[in-house]
Structure 1
Amino acid sequence: MRKNRRTLHKDFRILTLDDDVIMTSTLQAYFQRSGYYVDVINDPCRAIEQVREGAYDILLLDFLMTPICGDQVVEEIRKFNKDIYIILLTGHKSMAPPIRTIRELDIQGYYEKSDRFDQLELLVESCVKSISQMRIIQNYKTGLSQMMDSLPQLYNLDNTQSIFESILRITGKVFCGEGAFLMVWGPKEEGETEKIIHVTGNISREEVPRMVETAQFDGQTVLCRDGMMLAAIEDESRRTIGILGTGMSPGTEYVQAQMMEIYVRQISSAIHNMRLHQLVSVKNEELTRAYEQLNESYVEIINAMRTVVDERDIYTRGHSDRVSELAADLASWLQKDKRFVDRVRLAGLFHDIGKVGISDKILMKPDKLDEKEYADIKKHSDKGAKILSAITLFNDVVPIVRSHHERMDGKGYPDGLQGEEIPEESQIIAVADSFDAMTSHRHYRSNLPLSAAVEELEQGRGTQFAPHVVDAFLEMLESMGEESFSQKYDTGKEHDEGGEKR
C-alpha cells in the first residue's frame, strides 16, 4: 500500500515553512514516507524567494512566525504565484486568521497542530486531487492545440510517403514518446496485401511485426502495455488497415489514451481519404463520405477545444453556450430567417475558440492586463477564424467569429471595422457576449446586476453596439420580465470570465 502511495505522490513537490526546526523536520519525514518530494525552510523571508524560484505544488506554513507571520508570506507569494496550494498551520483555532483573510489570500485550508498528522494528510491529498485535475485539463489543452496545429498536414494528399511521415512526426510531437512506428496494410496484386512499415526514434523495424502480432485489442481502439501505446487504424467499415504505436510519455495513462483515440480517428480518415483519391475515377461516392468523416472529426476536435476553453476553471464554464442561446434568440426576435439564426447560434458556440492558444496566465489574471497581455488576448478572434477556416463547413461563420469584437465607432479589433462593415451576426454576438460577461462573476471583479448591465448596453448604443440590436435586447427583456430573463440566460452566477479585462 505504501509503495502505491509513493507512486501516486512522487510528482508532487511540497515546501514546509516554520521557524520551528523540529516541526519542519517532522513534517518532512512524515510526507516523504508517503512518497512526496519535500523541502524545508525556516526563514519566512527566504521562503518567498524559494517559492519564486522553485516549482512547488503545495506550501505548508506556520501562521505565527518571526519576523513576519504566515498571512504576510502568503500575501507576497500571491503577487507572483496564483497556482500553488497553501495550507496554514496554527497552534490553536483561535490563532487562525479570519475566514475573510483566508478567502482573500486563496488559502486552501488550515490545520491545528497536534502530534498526529492524519487530518493534515487528508488536506494535502485533497490538494493533490485538485492539482491532478488541473494537470489533466492542461494536458488536454496542450495536446489538442498541438494536434490542431499539425492536422492540416494530414489533409495534404500529395503522396503516400509524405502522409506516413507526417503521421509519425505529429505522433512524436503530441505524445512525446521515445519512438513510434506505423504499420499499414497496402494492396498487392490478386487481392493480397503487404505490410508497409515506417519507424522513428528508438524502435527498430524488426521489432514492429512482433509487437503487432501480439496485440489483442478485444474491441478497444487503443491498447496500453509495457510502456507502449498501440492504436488500431480502421477504414469506414471498421476493418483494421494498420497499427500506430508510440512509446508513452510520463503522465496520466487514460489521458494519453483518450488523446490517441481522437488522433487515430483523424489518421484513419486521412489514410482512407488518401486511398480514395487514388481511386477517384471509380470511388466518387466513397470519397464524399470520407470528406464527411473528416468534417465530423474536425468538428469533434473543435468542440473538444471549445470545451477545454470553457472548462479551464469554474469561471469559464458555459459561457459559449449562454452566448450562443442569447444571440440566437436575439436574431429570432429580429425576425431573421432560419439560416441566419443557425449561423448566429454556431458562431456563438465557437466565438472564443481562439482562446485555446492564449496563455492561462493571461486568461486567469485576477487584475488589469498590461498592454502586451491585452494585445495577446485581442488575437483570439483572428486565431478563432483561422481555426474554423480550415474546413468548408464553417465558411459562413468565419467572418462572424473574426468580427465579434468590432465596434460601431471603428475602435474594435482586429480590423477596425465600423457601422455596416461589421456583419450583422457579429453585431448580435457582441451584445450577447458583453451582456453575459457583465452579468457573470470573473476573477478580477464580481458580476454586475441585471440593471447595471442593461445601463452599460444603453450607454454603448451606437458607439460600441449596434442600436437596433440593443433595442431588440431591451424589447426581449421587457417582454419576458427580469426574473424569467435571468433564469433563462443564467445571469448572476459565479461561473464565467467571457469578456475582455479592459
Structure 2
Amino acid sequence: MRKNRIGKQERQQQYTILALDDDRIMTETLQSYFENSGFRVDIENDPYAAIERVRRGQYDILLLDFLMDPICGDEVVAQIRAFNQELFIILLTGHKSMAPPIRTIRELDIQGYYEKSDRFDQLELLVESCVKSIDQMRTIRKYRDGLQDILDSTPLLYQLQPLSGLLQVVLDQIRRMLPDASACVYLGGVPSMEIPPVYQGIGRYESNLCLAREWYLKLADQEYVPAQRNMAERQLVLPLYNEHHQIEGIFLLDLPDGFPEHGLTLLEVYAKQVAAAISNITLHLLVNQKNEALNQAYAKLRDNYLEMIQAIRALVDAKDIYTRGHSDRVSYFADLVAQALGKDEAYRERIRVAGLFHDIGKIGTADQLLNKQSRLTAEEYEEIQLHPQRGSEILSAVSTFRPIAPIVECHHERFDGRGYPNGLSGEDIPEESRIISVVDAFDAMTSDRLYRSSIGIERAKEELKNGRGTQFDPRIVDVFLTILHEYDRVQEKIAWTYATIPQDSSSPQLP
C-alpha cells in the first residue's frame, strides 16, 4: 500500500496547482494538504496577481474562492478564459447560497464546484478527476502531435525518388521521433522488374541486415500478418504490405523503455504510410519501364511507318517521272502554311503525309494516260479525276494512314463547290485539303511538265489571287502568298526535289 502511495505521489508531481483565496490561512492550508498528496502548489491572495501568474506560468489546476475582494471568482475565471482555455478550474465557496448559477459555471467552463468544509477529501476527489482529464488531454495532444509529424513527413515520403532515398527519409523521421533509436527497413525487391533488395539501418542495425531479412523471409510465405510486438526484447516488427496484402518489406525498431502504447499505434500508422509510398515508387518504376518499352516499340513502328512512306512515295514517283519531287514540295509547302496558321505538331504531321500521298491514286491510272503527250479526251480526263477517290481507298486500307484518307480524297474540291469528286464547298472541305489544293496548284504551275513549261513564280501568284474565293480558300491563299515573299530562301531548302524534265514543243494541255 505504501509503495502505491509513493508511486501516486511521484505521478502527481507532474501537476501544478495554483490556489487563490483572499484568506491567506485558507491558501496555506490548501498548499499544505495538496503538497502532502504529491502535488506542486503555488498560492496567491490577490486575484489580479493570480491572473498574471496564470498568464506567465504553466499551471494545470486552479483552486479559487468565489467571494473575493476586489473581484469575485467568476470575474477572475472570465479574464483567464480570454487567454487560456485549457486550465482546469475548481470553484470554492463557504456559503452554498452564494454559489454562482449553474449557467455561469457552464459558460466559464468551470470543471468543479466545492463547498468549503473542515475536510478536503471531496475536494481531493475533484482534483484527481481533473488529473485524469489532464492525462487524457496530454495523451490526445501527444497523439495529435505524433499524427501531425506523420502528416508533415508524408509529402517527403511521396516524392519521386529511388527506394534508397525513401528509406533514408523514413530513418531520418525515426531519428526525429526517437533520437537514440535503432531501426532498419528491408525491402525484398521485385525480381520481375529487376529491382534488387534494398536495406538501410541506424543504430545497431546500421550494417546488420540479417534479423530484418530473417523476419522478411519468415513472413513472406504467410497470409497478412499484423505488427509483431516483442515487448520482452522491446522490439517492434512492422510488415510493409502493398494494397494487395503482398509483403514488400520489413520495418524493424527497438523501442526505448517506457515507450507509450499510443506511440506504438502511431508507428503502425506511419508504417502504413511508408508501405503506400513504397508501392507508389514501385508503380512509378513499373510505369517508367512500360513507357520505355512502349517508346522503343513506338520508335520501331515510327521507323516502319517512315519506311512505308518512302516506299509508297518511290512507287508514285516511278509511276510518273514528270511529277517526281512534286509530292515532296506539296508536303513541304503545306507544312509551312499549317505552321503559319499556328497548327500543332499532330496536324502538321498529318498534312505532311497527306501532301506526300495526295497523288497516290494515280497508281491506278494507266501509264499511257499519264504520259500521253496529246490532248486528253473528255473520257480520259474523267479517268484522271478518279485519282483522289482511288487514293482515299488505298490509304483507308491501312489503319496508320486512315486519318489522312479524307484529306487526299478532297484535295481537288473547289471552294465554290465546282470541284471533284464530291462537289464540296467552303468549310465542308477539310481544311488540310484546302491547304493542299493551293500549294498543289502553285507547284504544278511553277514546275516543268511533259505538256508545258513552268509559267513562273509571279504569274503563278496572280493565278492564285484570281482563284481566291472560287477555286481556293481566300484565307489560305493570303497566308501562302505571305510565305512566298521569301520564295528564294524556301526554294533553296527544296532544291533537291527538282529534276530535269524533257521538253516537248508540242506539249498537250488538259481540257
Q: TM-score, normalised by structure 2?
A: 0.46
- Calculate the TM-score normalised by the size of structure 1: 0.46
Please identify the structure whose Cα radius of gyration is greater.
2
Bigger RCO of structures 1 and 2 (CA < 8 A, at least 6 apart) = 1
